[in-house]
Amino acid sequence: MSRPIDARARRYYDDFSRDYDHGRHRGYHALIDELEVSVVAPYAEGREALEVGCGTGLILDHVAPIASRAVGVDLSAGMLAKARSRGHQVVQGSATALPFADASFDCVYSFKVLAHVPAIDQALAEVARVLRPGGHAVLELYNRWSLRYLARLAAGARRIGAHHDEADIPTRWDSPSEAIERLPASLRLVDTAGVRVLTPFAGVHRVPGLAQLYAAGERAALRSPARRFGGFFVVVAERR
Percentage of the chain surpassing pLDDT 70?
94
More confident site: 14 or 195? 195
Which residues does residue 115 pair with via DSSP β-bridges, in sequence order?
none
Q: Does the pLDDT value for residue 11 go beyond 90?
A: no
Of the pLDDT bands very low, low, confident and very high (cuts 50, 70, 90), residue 79 is: very high
* pLDDT of 232 over the 70 cut: yes
Higher local confidence (pLDDT), 38 or 157: 38
pLDDT of residue 184: 98
The per-residue pLDDT of the chain, averaged, comes to 94
Is residue 198 predicted with pLDDT exceeding 50?
Answer: yes
- Position 3 pLDDT exceeds 90: no
More confident residue, 15 or 80: 80
Per-residue pLDDT reduced to its tens digit, 15-39: 888 888 988 999 999 999 999 999 9
Provide the pLDDT confidence category of residue 4 given band limits of 50, 70 and 90.
Answer: low
Query: In the prediction, which pLDDT does 1 show?
Result: 39
Q: What is the pLDDT of residue 163?
A: 62
**What residues contact 63, with CB distance under 8 A and at least 6 apart?**
37, 40, 41, 44, 49, 51, 70, 109
User: What is d(CA 86, CA 126) in angstroms, rounded to the nearest whole number?
Assistant: 27
| HEC secondary structure over the chain | CHHHHHHHHHHHHHHHHCCCCCCCCCHHHHHHHHHHHHHHHHHHCCCEEEEECCCCCCCHHHHCCCCCEEEEEECCHHHHHHHHHCCCEEEECECCECCCCCCCEEEEEECCCHHHCCCHHHHHHHHHHHEEEEEEEEEEEEECCCHHHHHHHHHCCCEECCCEEHHHCCCCCECHHHHHHCCCCCEEEEEEEEECCCCCCHHHHHCCCHHHHHHHHHHHHCCCHHHHHCCEEEEEEEEC
* pLDDT tens profile 42-52: 999 999 999 99
Given this model, what pLDDT does residue 103 score?
98
pLDDT for the residue numbered 26: 93
User: Domains along the chain?
Assistant: 2-239 (3.40.50.150)
d(CA 60, CA 51): 8
Half-sphere exposure (Cβ direction) of 164: Cα atoms closer than 13 Å: 19
* pLDDT reported for residue 10: 85
